[in-house]
Amino acid sequence: MKPVFLRLSRFWRACYNLWVVRIHSRLRAPVVSERVREYELVMIIRPEATEQEVTGAMERVATFVTEHGGEMGETKSWGLKQLAYPIARRKEGIYSSAKFKLNSQGAQELGKALKISEDIIRHLVTKVE
């Protein structure tokens, strides 16, 4: 049979571990909606795209932002411009920009969605300060 002080020490270690787990579970910050920030999006659309495809791409961005709890600001189409360097063997592209307000997780998801899109050659989402 083991001495009493060893059995008690295991007991007190177990109590301490339970106490630590309870304290840490209470210290976790409650999930609160993230702060909404203002972002600016600039994207380059393939030059073969028609005007309807360009407006469709901008409408997809607007619906994505509104579905994720944000609000859309102004949108501009800069038209067909020559690229500084070839991207996907293309030397020109249609530039478009948009401003919107969204939380950071939604902005990251928007970037992933734009990366998958076949119409968009390149995009950049920046935080407006």
Confirm if 123 and 42 have CB atoms less than 8 A apart: yes
Yes or no: say if 38 and 74 are a contact pair by the CB < 8 Å rule.
no
- Within 10 angstroms of residue 21's Cβ, the number of other Cβ atoms is 10
CA distance 11 to 124: 57
Report pTM: 0.70
Domains of the chain as residue ranges with CATH: 37-127 (3.30.70.60)
- The tens digit of pLDDT for each residue in 48-73 reads 999 999 999 999 999 999 999 999 99
Tell me: the pLDDT tens digits for 12-50?
Answer: 666 666 666 666 666 555 555 578 999 999 999 999 999
Beta bridge partners of 94: 45, 80
Please tell me the distance from the alpha carbon of residue 96 to that of residue 57, in angstroms, as a whole number: 10
Q: What is the pLDDT of residues 86-123, one digit of tens each?
A: 998 999 999 999 999 999 889 999 999 999 988 899 99
